Amino acid sequence: MDIQSIKNRFGIIGNTQALNHALNTAIQVANTDLSVLIVGESGVGKEVFSVIIHALSARKHNPFIAVNCGAIPEGTIDSELFGHEKGSFTGAVDSRKGYFETVSGGTIFLDEIGEMPLGTQARLLRVLETGEFIRVGSSKVQKTDVRVIAATNRDLLELTQQGKFREDLYYRLSTVPIRVPSLRDRKEDIPLLFRKFAADFSERYKTLSVQLDAAAQQLLVNYYWQGNVRELKNIAEQISVLSIDKLITAEALLKFLPQRNTSKSLALIPGSGVHGYSTGTSDFNTERDILYKLFFDLKKDMNDLKQMIFDVAHHQGYTPVDPSTSNQQLLPVYNTNDNEPQLNNSYNSNTPILLESNDHHEDVEETLLLADREKEYISKALKKHKSRRRDAAAELGISERTLYRKIKEYNIQE
């Protein structure tokens, strides 16, 4: 059976290489009894792959059951999977068969296998290796013939290193691993999926199908989609039900996208996109723009601090000099009209600063670290204004945010 017929049969939409590779692996392994571990983020459709494997296997006419290991309490999961005897625990008023007994000959899908308790993991390992299990409260060994397909959105190898998952069970389960790609790795499939979901909801709710304009479609493609296909389907349903206009613009679409995720994929860049969002760049370009903005802000803060030191030094009778042109003969600069120290015209805010006192006519060089001088001026300003940061920042000529950062950096006691 070719891959396109599988997509049509199970309603799978998409043509990305990663998706096709996962489907090809599922088709190839289906007609065997090998254990399969399906790996992927929450919402990518891992259960669909388990259904495909069972439907294409020799067990297709036998039972199939999906069990969410994370939804069953730790105290009852052994009973659910392996059954129990009457009186084996409080509330066990009768004997009960477990899933491994009732679906013998078929397939059991263990979703969120990473949430399974360690004790249950040991029981499962025995089933995988010998086909044997024991009911809770019994000593009788029973046989079962069940194919196990497991799925997880967690890193099981990391869990094994933390002692939360058995390493031997991991390697026994992952005889054939299948990695289902996230929606972020299937960007070209996003418009196709949205159109399919919109058409389905239009038919269900007897309304016209919504359409996206070019900007909205680009915004949809560049969105982070933390919840993957499940989240996209949810957004499509919300728009289909709540939107009055059937042509959706980027501005309208933003109202439906959760803001907790928007910041991960849409950079707030003035003058671009909708409401400041950049809708036409890749995730890489977005992160690069954010880094550039941070670097420019840091550079501006440094220049502000240098200018602040320069201004304060000027008011206190010091003259900044560019040390790269200095020959150790540093002289104060005076205005002949009022004998007040004046700014040195050769000063550049991007160069280091040496300060010379006007209290002496002799040439004196003070070699002070910029950090020490910054700390000194900040401390004086805070003391003068009785630790009122806003007033101190205003006098220093810097933002309150920069002042707060410098107080923490220099560990200044207010």
CB-based contacts of 354, cutoff 8 Å, min separation 6: 320, 321, 323, 326, 330, 365, 366, 367, 368
CB 59 within 8 A of CB 173: no
Average pLDDT, the chain: 81
Q: Which of 85-94, 139-148, 161-170 is least confident?
A: 85-94
- pLDDT tens-digit profile of 313-334? 666 665 555 444 444 444 444 4
Classify 373 as helix, strand or coil: helix
Q: Judge contact between 149 and 109, C-beta under 8 A.
A: yes
pLDDT band at 401 (very low <50, low <70, confident <90, very high): confident
Q: Assign 220 a pLDDT band (cuts: 50, 70, 90).
A: very high
CATH 1.10.8.60 fits 190-279, yes or no: yes
pLDDT at 391: 81
167 phi and psi angles, rounded to 5 deg: -65, -40
Q: Which part of the chain is CATH 1.10.8.60? A: 190-279
CATH no., domain 3-181: 3.40.50.300
The predicted pLDDT at position 226 comes to 93
Handedness of CA 383, 386, 391, 393 (dihedral sign): positive
What's at 404, amino acid-wise?
Answer: Y
Q: Where in the chain is the domain with CATH 3.40.50.300?
A: 3-181
- pTM value is 0.63
Q: Which residue stretches of 223-353 are H helix?
A: 228-242, 250-254, 259-265, 283-315
Residues 80-130 have pLDDT tens digits of 999 999 888 888 888 999 999 999 999 999 999 999 999 999 999 999 999
Asked if the model's pLDDT at residue 269 lies above 70, the reply is: no
Contacts of residue 50, defined as CB under 8 A and 6 or more positions apart, other chains included, come to 36, 38, 66, 107, 109, 149, 151
